[in-house]
């Protein structure tokens, strides 16, 4: 039936203290034992060495993470295994420090790779401490006799060069489990195992079990759920770490106490399940571009319904005359600030008032179609005024986005959004490009 991968699961007990060295000594024995049983991949829970954030930055020992990673790396090198574990990650970019709740893959003599949690859990205050991850990151392993021998990570494409002995691991972290699109993305690019590391409370443990089975059934792959037990700051963790088959069968499930086990995953069962009927595939429908461009009166009830259901509306605006890489990067970043993005586009008459009689280069219906064709844009509407103030008042978005070239006091509609409980986000430019520069370059080339 093909090859196996032996996976070890450590249902670790979270202590009330931040004694990460004591936590390490506790799991070290389990890691060594599971390795002797033949486990090539061993998994630990989310933030296993410190527990949840609980709204205080001091709850997360960022400074200890590098030391702990070094100790785990040495142990992994000694045992020649792979280890997936949840730890905080600190990352500097453009002089700014970003902190993430990460799932690390620590492998034999290789720099650790990480997936950064995309769906942060606000009741624990994660959004106050951590930045949100922006993309799935699959871990690709080459295996031999159930032991992982090589690895590489990839955010987009499946490299088929080593496909005969290759297995893909799709990491998700706790709250991510409630969002099926993330697990589906891993299945689509070819992952065989989804590993969910968690700090799932006992009061909702029934949902944890149900969601693990659902992700396995709908994606026709193995799902490994690695939860914590114990208690911290009044939160009792529910255990129930388990491994689910591609058919949804529970192959093993822990109780509520500390436990460590290993199990062979028969990878051929995935092909068997998918040969009967295939559900682990991309959606075969998409929203037409024409239905994304709406008049304001048609757009308002849609926005109202989505906001009423708890979704966060993001709004930005612009002329978007000649679409370039700067526009795309800007709109992608804007979309990350909420659940759906509305783009207001200046009409042709509005652009002429702002840019002069020679603009726009492209008429409004063309500009709207191009913007609507971007996957990060949910809705487009055209407005005639020189500023989007009336549009903003009508839609009342939860987040208003503009470029960093706009000063905080110069953003039209900022006060309106803030008074309604919303926020304003300024996006730094990542490309030194603009429509004006493109036009200038074209004109200069014709003069030569």
Rounded to whole angstroms, the Cα distance separating 226 from 290 reads 44
How many Cβ atoms are within 10 Å of 119's Cβ, its own excluded? 17
How far apart CA 366 and CA 260 sit, in angstroms, is: 59
Neighbouring CB atoms inside 10 A of 428's CB total 12
Q: Check if the beta carbon of residue 392 is closer than 8 Å to that of residue 413.
A: yes
Q: Are strands 235-236 and 41-43 parallel, antiparallel or unpaired?
A: unpaired
Calculate the dihedral angle through the C-alpha atoms of 175, 181, 186, 188, rounding to the nearest 10 degrees.
170
Catalytic-role residue among 353, 402, 419, 447: 353
Sole residue written with tokens 């106050």: 128
10 Å CB burial of residue 220 (0-12, 13-18, 19+) is buried
DSSP secondary structure code for residue 146 in this structure: B
Cα–chain-centroid distance for residue 427? Answer: 19
Q: What are phi and psi of 156, to 5 degrees?
A: -130, -60
Spatial separation of the C-alpha atoms in residues 61 and 273, rounded to whole Å: 43
Q: What is the DSSP letter of 124?
A: G
Contact (Cβ atoms closer than 8 angstroms) between residue 431 and residue 332: no
Q: b/e map of 261-288 (b: 16 or more CB within 10 Å)?
A: bbbebbbebbeebbeeeeebeeeeeeee
Q: Are 114 and 139 in contact (CB under 8 A)?
A: no
For the record, the structure tokens of 417 come out as 């959004």
CA dist., res. 377 & res. 338, Å (int): 12
Q: Cβ contacts of residue 91 below 8 Å, gap of 6+? A: 97, 98, 99, 100
Residue 25 CB partners (closer than 8 Å, separation 6+): none
355 labelled catalytic: yes
Reduced to 3 states (helix: H, G, I; strand: E, B; else coil), residue 260 is strand
Residue given tokens 């690709």 in the structure block: 140
Catalytic residue among 355, 402, 418, 448: 355
Give the residue numbers annotated as catalytic, written as ranges: 353, 355
């Amino acid at each position: 039936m093909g090859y196996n991968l032996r996976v070890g699961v450590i249902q670790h007990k979270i202590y009330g203290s931040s004694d990460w060295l004591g936590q390490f000594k506790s799991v070290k024995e389990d890691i060594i034992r599971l390795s002797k049983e033949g486990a090539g991949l061993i998994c630990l829970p989310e933030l296993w060495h410190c527990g949840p954030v609980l709204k205080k930055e001091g709850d997360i020992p960022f400074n200890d993470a590098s030391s702990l990673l070094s100790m785990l790396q040495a142990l992994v090198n000694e045992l020649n295994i792979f280890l997936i574990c949840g730890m905080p990650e600190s990352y500097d970019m453009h002089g700014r420090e970003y902190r993430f709740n990460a799932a690390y893959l620590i492998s034999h003599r290789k720099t650790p790779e990480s997936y950064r949690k995309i769906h942060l859990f606000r009741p624990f205050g994660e959004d106050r401490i951590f930045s949100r991850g922006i993309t799935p990151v699959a871990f690709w392993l080459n295996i031999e006799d159930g032991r992982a021998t090589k690895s590489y990570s990839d955010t987009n494409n499946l490299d088929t060069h080593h496909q005969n002995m290759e297995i893909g691991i799709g990491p998700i972290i706790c709250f991510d489990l409630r969002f099926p699109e993330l697990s589906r993305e891993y299945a689509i690019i070819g992952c065989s195992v989804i590993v969910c590391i968690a700090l799932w409370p006992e009061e909702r443990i029934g949902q944890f079990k149900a969601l693990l089975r659902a992700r396995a059934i709908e994606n026709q792959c193995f799902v490994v759920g690695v939860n914590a037990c114990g208690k911290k700051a009044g939160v009792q963790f529910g255990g129930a770490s388990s491994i689910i088959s591609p058919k949804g069968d529970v192959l093993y499930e822990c109780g509520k106490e500390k436990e460590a086990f290993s199990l062979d995953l028969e990878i051929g069962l995935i092909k068997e399940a998918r040969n009967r009927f295939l559900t682990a595939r991309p959606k075969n429908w998409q929203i037409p571009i024409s239905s994304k461009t709406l008049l304001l009166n048609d757009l308002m009830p849609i926005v109202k319904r989505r906001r009423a259901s708890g979704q966060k509306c993001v709004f930005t605006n612009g002329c978007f005359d000649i679409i370039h890489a700067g526009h795309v990067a800007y709109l992608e970043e804007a979309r990350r600030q909420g659940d759906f993005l509305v783009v207001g586009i200046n009409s042709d008459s509005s652009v002429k008032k702002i840019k002069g009689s020679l603009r726009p280069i492209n008429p409004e219906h063309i500009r709207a179609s191009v913007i609507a064709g971007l996957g990060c844009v949910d809705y487009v509407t055209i407005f005639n005024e020189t500023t989007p103030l009336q549009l903003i008042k009508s839609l009342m978005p939860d987040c208003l986005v503009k470029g960093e070239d706009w000063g905080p006091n110069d953003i039209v509609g900022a006060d309106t959004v803030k008074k309604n409980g919303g926020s304003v986000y300024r996006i730094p430019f990542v490309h030194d490009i603009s429509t004006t520069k493109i036009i200038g370059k074209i004109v200069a080339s014709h003069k030569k």
